[in-house]
Structure 1
Amino acid sequence: MSQVVPPILSVLPTRALVDETFQVQVENLPPGSPVTLHSLHLSEDQHYWEAYGYYFSNYQGTVSVSDDLSFGGTYTGKEPMGLLWSMRPVPGSRKGLRLRKMNVCTPMLINILVYSGHEGFRDQAPLVSVVTERWYMAPGVQRIEIREKGVQGTLFIPPGPGPFPGLLDMWGGGGGLVEYRSALLASRGYAALALNYFSAGERQSAELELKYFETAFNLIKDHPQVMPDRVGLFGLSLGSLVSMYLAAESTAIEPRCCVCISANHTYPHGLTISGVYRELSKNFHLVRVDENNHVIWRDMALAVMSDPSNNLNVGKINCPVMVVNGSDDQNWPSVESAEDIAVRMRAAGKDHLLTRLEYPDAGHLIEPPFSPHFRATNFIESITKEKVIMLWGGQSKPHADAQEDSWRKIQSFLQLHMYSSPGPRAKL
């Protein structure tokens, strides 16, 4: 009597950084058999996330996620990383969840499972499973908590003697200390300071606030493992506004370059960040909700931005700038903002410093590659302090493509301007 050979599942590499691809392959299946490949992750806040694809084994009894088509599930077609980027909370989870790594010193553990058939796979035992590790922090990266000169943050230093280029890394209006992008940037060769700024206490004046950011920038610049003339700015949403504000208005620092995701340059003169939000609140009547009661800020922000005096004079920027945005951004008018930035820099003779990336059907939260897409998530509204579900926008597949493509181009931009010989700068 012939013995049934169990299927073999391989996930290579089993341990990788989150921006690296993997190969998922199942062998020893009956030829032409339907199987479901399922990824499952338990987040640090104890919520389960999953993705799955429906496949048919070939005549050799093999399924390769990189080479074969998914005929259904959370993604379709040939999607080598669909088991990651299409992850969503399992059915029955509470609404508005967002998957974010809080402890970057441990990996994301993703369980890859194989089931027979397509329908009802959750009710059966898997044929085979493998656990794979996804890391934001490469071996040898140093993580250093910063509580110095009033600055709150976490500095990540790449492995090796250095010196390295540095980046001041700033997230958006959700506040708090968010480390995972900085850890990944350090894994790619940049000393990155994840800065806590929005919820680190309101500063009394715009001058004191500017001083806080300048002090943070100089903490990186003066670190013995950092190249002092190669420190840049990296921001998303509100963080992109701070990056542009520093590049345009600060006379105390000279950023090497700026990366601004979901561009924002609306910063009425003389206001603190909290003051900017108070200015926004004057148009709070323009906030809309969609059919799911998700909050849309876009029109409120557009009303403030439409007054030219409320926007930064980005024509004063003298370093290379990369602006990244999605055309379906429902939180901020980042398309209009990017266009106005381009107009202002062109008028100042600085258009050679600007690189623009715009992605159709991508939303506001453009994160490192293979991160799940979050169209709407829970958010404490900065103006009303109410807990709402904020609409960020985007469609899963185009947003995933935008994250993968933009990260690759951001790495090229940083390599060019931070590691190469001096990049283009405007004549002063």
Structure 2
Amino acid sequence: MCFSSDEMSSQVRLRLLPSERCLYDKPIQVKVSHLKSRQVVSIKASSTDERGVLFSSSATYRADENGEIDLVRDASLSGSYVGVEPMGLLTTLKPNIVNNLFVKDKALEPHMVKFSVHDEEEQDRMLAEATNERFLMADGVSRVSVEEGNFHGVLFTPPGKGPFPAVLDLCVMMSEKRAALLADKGFVVLTVPVFNEQPVNVKMLHLDPFEEAITFLLQQPKVGSKQIGIVSKSKSADVALSLAAFVPGVEAVVWINGCSANTVLPLFYKTQQILPALMFDTKKLIPTQSGAFIAKYATDDPLKEENRATLIPIEQANTHFLFVASEDDLGWDSKAYMIEMEERLKHHGKKNFESVCYPKAGHFLEPPYGPFCFSSLNWFLKKPAVWGGGPRAHAAAEVHLWKKIQEFLRSHVICDLVQNNAKL
């Protein structure tokens, strides 16, 4: 609880329930009380990301006859969003510098969000404030940096004896957020970046370091599964498909808004090139008024005869797939790639996949309740890109998908108690 003043309890109160401290992927209830009956106020939120970029949001609310506002119940009249959006102040946080993604990648540091209530007539007059600490690591989860052979990453292990299923979190550039949160759900998770440096400096990609990561993960004492699950998005999604097709040990793959072909860089395994790269044409980028570009139609068509060699042979994988596509993804033509994969698997008599589509969501599907990203730098294009979607639909998709990912991994990455006891 937080009071605007230490004086009397009649002062305006801003409460974050059930607590001001919570996990990143948990919703909170924002309540204001001790206002005048029907008083109009603005409620603001602000947060600074790991690069020091300030993000902020604001919404105008009218108190009820008892002088109370409850964001779960009440509609915003104007501001960053309109209508009933209990977590709208978080999901609509916008950067003060255009074309910026909210960077929250380090698991040891909480996402700090400052909430404040302001008199609508005197905007400089703050009536109450409170700070929400949103943790990426739950109590008892352990975090260990890993540098083994040709890969580096971070290992997150849940509390308790286990055995736990093993998950490889493939991120394009290093991020601990999704892995740390998944460990709280009962998975041993190793997060490994596809790129250790800016992708523009890389000439080819090798699957071998990721195979080393899989081997390392399966050797962890609390791991009880014989194979692993992989969670991936964007460029890392085609790497995940390639691991399923060429490398043993992959039981399940979550593919989010990626391509069905190997993109950008030629792919090698055991010193041999296994897939050429599907490229993009910068002349097909569509400029927008914000200065960011729509890249959806710039990638070459993998189904054209001259590009078919880039298609990843997922039909040869003994893997369960969860394909996830945002229909308003403006970074990739994700839904088209998903349909291509579904049809190819069906053609080969395979039923080892399920799919989910989100009609008005954009490219960056992340764990829920983070700021919606309209546009940010695309590392491969070296230009800002528009990612598509709208805050409300995108936020709803993230809540639904987060549960879906956990259910999918639990149902397919199964623990073997005998194997676990043999290790110990």
Q: TM-score, normalised by structure 1?
A: 0.87
Q: Structure 2: which amino acid aligns with 1:71?
A: L
The match for 1:46 is: 52
**CA drift at 1:416:** 2.0
| RMSD over equivalenced CA pairs, Å | 2.7
Aligned mates of 2:315, 2:414 — CA distance in 1: 25
CA shift digits 1:227-263 (9 cap, x unpaired): 241421110011111111111222xx22221111103
Note if 1:402 corresponds to 2:408: no
Q: Is the 8 A contact 2:262 2:276 kept in 1?
A: no
The residue number in structure 1 matching 2:421 is: none
Measured at CA, do residues 54 and 46 of structure 1 come closer, stay the same or move farther in structure 2, by a change above 3 Å?
same
Aligned length: 401
Deviation at 1:135, TM superposition (A): 1.0
* Equivalent residues of 2:171, 2:232 under 8 A apart: yes
Contact 2:264-2:277 at 8 Å conserved across structures: no
Partner residue of 1:101 out of 100, 104, 113: 104
**CA–CA distance in structure 1, aligned partners of residues 330 and 234 of structure 2:** 12
Deviations 1:180-207 (A, max 9, x none): 111111122111111023236989976x
The reply to whether residue 78 of structure 1 matches residue 84 of structure 2 is yes
Mapping 1:10-21, distance limit 5 Å: 10-12=15-17, 13-21=19-27
SS in structure 2 at match of 1:127 = strand
Q: Does the CA-based 8 Å contact 2:75-2:85 persist in structure 1?
A: yes
- Distance in 1, matches of 2:324 and 2:265, equals 27
Q: Identical aligned pairs, as a percentage?
A: 26
Deviation at 1:314, TM superposition (A): 1.8
1:298 aligns with 2:287: no
Asked whether the equivalents of residues 280 and 299 of structure 2 are also in contact (C-alpha less than 8 Å), the reply is no
* TM-score (normalizing by structure 2): 0.87
- CA spacing shift, 1:42–1:204, aligned 2, 3 Å: closer
* CA deviation after TM superposition for structure 1 residue 374, in Å: 0.9
Structure ranking higher on relative contact order (CA contacts 8 Å, 6+ apart): 2
Rounded to whole Å, the distance in 2 between the matches of 1:270 and 1:197 is 12
2:118 corresponds to which letter in structure 1? Y
**Paired position in structure 1 for 2:145:** 145
* 1:256 aligned partner: 251
Counterpart of 2:160 in 1: which secondary structure?
coil
Match among 233, 236, 259 for residue 236 of structure 1: 233
2:211 aligns to what?
214
Aligned counterparts of 1:74 and 1:131: Cα–Cα separation in 2: 19
What is residue 369 of structure 1 aligned with on the other side?
368
- Paired with 1:234 and 1:374, the residues of 2 have a C-alpha distance of 20
Mapped pair 1:127 → 2:140? no
Report the Cα distance in structure 2 between the residues aligned to 1:79 and 1:282, rounded to whole angstroms. Answer: 38
> How many Å apart are 1:286 and its aligned residue?
2.6
Q: Secondary structure at 2:251's aligned position in 1? A: coil
Instruction: Tell me which residue corresponds to 2:166.
Output: 166
Q: 1:60 to 1:342 in 2, by over 3 A?
A: same
* Alignment match, 2:223: 226
**Residues 34, 116 of structure 1: 8 Å contact kept:** yes
1:268-319 residue CA offsets vs partner (Å, 9 max, x unmatched): 899328x999944463433332333322322222434544332112222222
Structure 2 residues not aligned, in runs of 5+: 1-7, 417-424
2-structure distance, mates of 1:277, 1:69: 52
